[in-house]
A = this chain, B = another copy of it.
Amino acid sequence: MNYPIEAIRNDFPILTQQVHGKPLVYFDNGATTHKPRQVVEAMEEVAFRYNSNIHRGVHTLSNLCTEAFENARQTVASFIGAHNSHEVIFTRGTTESINLVAYSFGETFLQSGDEVIISGMEHHSNIVPWQLLQKRKGVVLKVIPVLDNGQLDMEVFRSLISRRTRLVSVTHVSNVLGTINPIEEIIEIAHQHNIAVLIDGAQAVQHLAVDVKKLDCDFYALSGHKLYGPTGIGVLYGKEKWLNQMVPYQGGGEMIQTVTFEETTFNELPYKFEAGTPDFTGAIGLAAAVKYLQNIGLQKIHAYEDELFNYAFEKLQALGNITFYGTAHIRGSLISFLLNGIHPFDAGTLLDKMGIAVRTGHHCAQPLMERFKIPGTIRASFGLYNTTSEVDALVNGLVKVRQLFG
């Protein structure tokens, strides 16, 4: 495949790091991805050339910065296929995006006894906000079970739907199992019952083509830092029809039209949901990341990562005496596994000594760990800059781990 891996790796200075005297092999992309020079430079350009508080300023820097910020929104909108850029709200990340919906949709549309459906493979960020809502408003939380193969039990999903169901909130790609959920089907079923759907896209946008218009989802959440962009910035896509009706989440500058002590009217979308000075530098950095991906070509990246995934899966399988979590063929670019008889913490610790970074533990998905009765997994998650020789290093590292255990 014609994939400029050399050039790409050169864009990520961090990859030349040595860890414990060994070249860094970074397979913790599911936790956070690294940032190419282009992203750092875009943010540096803001700081050194036109940094200024956006909106409402009459001076030149303020106008330049506002324009760059709104262009960033446009870039993100077209990246995820949003109808309108005012349906793109900048947040701190997926977690805040979900909390925003849980609060504002919850306050506006949910009554005690209404039901929200999530799944058994959700990240804590798509569990706890609903539990907080449950506590505050008496909303009922229902959970789609996870099958042994790491897929959702769609039969049970259908049966969970009732006349009180108001929202379904599920992850697009599981951060533990890699499972790509059939969200088209979930959305279709939900919409047949007039139920809104929120998709947690934290692990999806970096590995799959996402088109919210085609998906027809009501909300879509993502994090910049998992998409080769900056920390502290994320996105909530929401359909205008919902966002317009929803009560604001936070109050403050920019999200208002007029304020008096008697009555305050709110600004139009997206500003209604962006209280306070937004992280315009982060948003511009995120847009630079999106452009970086688009420049390489999303399809190319996805194909490359698929190859890498397949290569890694075969090699790991060949190791033997290894248990995989999640089925192989419908996964995003990550593999969760355990070396039989070896605690993931031990494996992770020893791999680190060899310069190899994987994530071990419960991956903020404790209910899923409970489900599989394991303390955690070893997760290798791939990014666009990883290579097959890095996979080899991982496999060799695991062999060494085994040796150490005698």
Interface residues of A (CB under 8 A from B): 13-14, 17, 19-20, 24, 26, 28, 31-32, 34-35, 39-40, 43-44, 47-53, 56-62, 92-96, 98-99, 102, 107, 123-125, 127-132, 136, 141, 143, 223, 225, 230-233, 247-248, 250-256, 258-261, 264, 275-282, 345, 348-349, 351-352, 356-361, 364, 366-367, 370
Are A260 and B59 also in contact (CB < 8 A) when A47-B14, A282-B231 are? no
State whether B275 touches A360 (Cβ < 8 A): no
Once bound together, how far apart are the Cα atoms of A58 and B347, in whole Å? Answer: 10
State whether B35 touches A51 (Cβ < 8 A): yes
State whether A58 touches B348 (Cβ < 8 A): yes
Once bound together, how far apart are the Cα atoms of A225 and B361, in whole Å? Answer: 35
State whether A276 touches B127 (Cβ < 8 A): no
Residues of B near A56 (CB, < 8 A) are 361
Name which residue of chain B comes closest to A258, CB basis: B366
Copies of this protein, total: 2
Are A260 and B370 also in contact (CB < 8 A) when A52-B28, A60-B19 are? yes
Are A349 and B58 also in contact (CB < 8 A) when A48-B13, A92-B92, A92-B279 are? yes
Beyond A28-B61, A95-B275, 20 additional contacts (C-beta under 8 Å) are A28-B62, A31-B53, A40-B43, A58-B360, A58-B361, A95-B250, A95-B251, A95-B276, A96-B250, A99-B251, A124-B251, A124-B253, A127-B259, A128-B264, A128-B275, A129-B252, A223-B277, A231-B277, A259-B367, A260-B366
Once bound together, how far apart are the Cα atoms of A98 and B256, in whole Å? Answer: 16
Which listed residue (B282, B356, B357) contacts A62, Cβ 8 A?
B357
Which listed residue (B102, B225, B264, B366) contacts A131, Cβ 8 A?
B264
State whether A99 touches B253 (Cβ < 8 A): no
Name which residue of chain B comes closest to A14, CB basis: B48
Residues of B near A44 (CB, < 8 A) are 40, 44
Are A92 and B276 also in contact (CB < 8 A) when A47-B35, A232-B233, A366-B258 are? yes
